[in-house]
Amino acid sequence: MKISRRKWISGCVAGAVGLTLHTSLADDSISDLDIIDCHTHFFDPTRPEGIPWPSKSSPLYRTVLPKHLRKLKTFRPVTGAVIVEASPWVEDNAWLLDLAKDDPFVVGIVGRLEPGGSDFAKNVKRFAANSLYRGIRIGVQLLKKLLEAENLTVLKILADHDLALDVNGGPETPGILAKVAGKVPGLRIVQNHIGNVRVTSGPPPAGWRVGIRAAAEHTNVFCKISALLESAWAVQKPIPVSKDLEFYRPYLDVVWDAFGDDRVIYGSNWPVSEKASTYEALQRIYLEYAFEKGGEATRKFCSLNAKKAYKWVERLGRI
C-alpha cells in the first residue's frame, strides 16, 4: 500500500507526540514519588539465638537490615518499607518492632502469629499496642483449615485491632480469599505475590484468573504485585529470567484489570528476589507498567493503596 508524504509526516508527528506524552507522564509520575516497599524481609543470624529462617545452607543466610536495602541500586528511590516476618518465633515479632523503633524508614510491621493458637488473642493485643504493628501473615493452608472448621471468627480479632491479614500461598489462594473476605468483611486482606502463579511465556492459567477476579469482587481484598520474577525463575532456572515488561504484562493485566488502580500494592520481596533479579530490574518492570496507568495510579500503587490496606505509620525523618 502506497502512503502519501502528508500521511507519513502526520503519522510521524502523532508518534512523536505520543512518545512525548508518555515521557511527560512518566516524568510527572516520578517527580515526587513516594515508594513504600511493602514486602521486605530482614534478619540477623549473628544474634545469640540465631534465626529459624533462612537456613544456613541458603544464599540468604547473612545479616539483612533496612540499611542494606537503602544502599541498593534502584530504578527509583525507595522511601519507606513494610517488613513481613517470615520467622515462626513469636518473639521475632518483638525483634522487628525493636529494629524499627529508631529507624523512620520502617513504616510498618506485618508479623507472624497463628490464628487459633492458645495465645493468639493475647499476642495480638500485645503487639498491636505498638502502632507500627500493622498486621500478620499466614499461609493459605492454615486459612483453609479455619474456613473448613468455620472458625473465621478468630480473624475478627485482627479486625477489632484494626490490623490487616496477609496471605501467602499458591494459585488457589485468590479463590480462597474470595470465600473468606465475604465472611469477615471488616478485615482488610492482602494477597501476597499475586498468588505465586507460575509465570511463563504462555497465557496465565484460567483457574488463577478466575480466582483473582473473584477475590477482587470484595473491596476489602488488596493484591500485592510482587515476586513475579521469582515465579518466572522457578519455571526456567537456571536460565536467567526476562527483564522485559512484555513477558510479565499478561499477568499484570489480569491483576490490575481486576483490582483496579485502588487496590494494587508495590512490593519487592527483597532479599528473596535476589535469586531471580536485581532490585533495579524488578522495580523497573513494575513501575514502567504503573506509569502507563497514569501519575495518580502510580502514586496509589507505590504508597497510597498500602496506606489504606495497612494504615502504615508516617514517621518524622522518613524522607
Question: Of 92-101, 225-234, 236-245, which gets the smallest average pLDDT?
Answer: 236-245
**Residues counted in the chain:** 319
Residue 12 resides in a domain: yes
Residue 198 resides in a domain: yes
Same domain, 11 and 44: no
Identify the pLDDT of residue 30. Answer: 63
- Split at pLDDT 50, 70, 90, the class of 8 is very low
Same domain, 196 and 290: yes
Same domain, 218 and 138: yes
Identify the pLDDT of residue 2. Answer: 42
Identify the pLDDT of residue 32. Answer: 85
- Split at pLDDT 50, 70, 90, the class of 213 is very high
Same domain, 154 and 180: yes
Residue 18 has pLDDT above 50, yes or no: no
Identify the pLDDT of residue 199. Answer: 98
Same domain, 15 and 152: no
DSSP per residue, 245-303:
HHHHHHHHHHHHHHH-TTSEEE---BTGGGGT--HHHHHHHHHHHHHHH-HHHHHIIII
Cα–Cα distances in Å, from 313 out to 118, 131, 161?
Answer: 29, 7, 15
Residue 114 resides in a domain: yes
The CATH number assigned to the domain holding 118 equals: 3.20.20.140
Same domain, 89 and 160: yes
Same domain, 121 and 163: yes
What pLDDT digit, counting tens, does each position of 40-54 carry? Answer: 999 999 999 999 999
Q: Residue 260: which domain range?
A: 33-310
Averaged pLDDT score across all residues of the chain? 92
Residue 315 resides in a domain: no
What pLDDT digit, counting tens, does each position of 154-210 carry? Answer: 999 999 999 999 999 999 999 999 999 999 999 999 999 999 999 999 999 999 999
Question: Would you report the helix, strand and coil content of the chain in percent, each value rounded to 5?
Answer: 45, 15, 40
Residue 94 has pLDDT above 60, yes or no: yes
What pLDDT digit, counting tens, does each position of 117-135 carry? Answer: 999 999 999 999 999 999 9
Same domain, 132 and 185: yes
Same domain, 161 and 223: yes
Residue 242 resides in a domain: yes
Residue 24 has pLDDT above 70, yes or no: no
Residue 137 has pLDDT above 60, yes or no: yes
Identify the pLDDT of residue 6. Answer: 38
Residue 319 resides in a domain: no
Instruction: Provide CB contacts within 8 A for 201, sequence distance 6+.
Output: 247
Identify the pLDDT of residue 7. Answer: 38
Same domain, 11 and 79: no
Q: Count up the domains in the chain and report the number.
A: 2
What pLDDT digit, counting tens, does each position of 225-235 carry? Answer: 999 999 999 99
Residue 317 resides in a domain: no
- Split at pLDDT 50, 70, 90, the class of 239 is confident
Residue 99 has pLDDT above 60, yes or no: yes
Question: Of 19-33, 64-78, 144-158, 212-226, which gets the smallest average pLDDT?
Answer: 19-33
What is the grid cell recorded at 294? Answer: 497514569
Same domain, 11 and 140: no
What is the grid cell recorded at 293? Answer: 496507568
Residue 73 resides in a domain: yes
Same domain, 143 and 203: yes
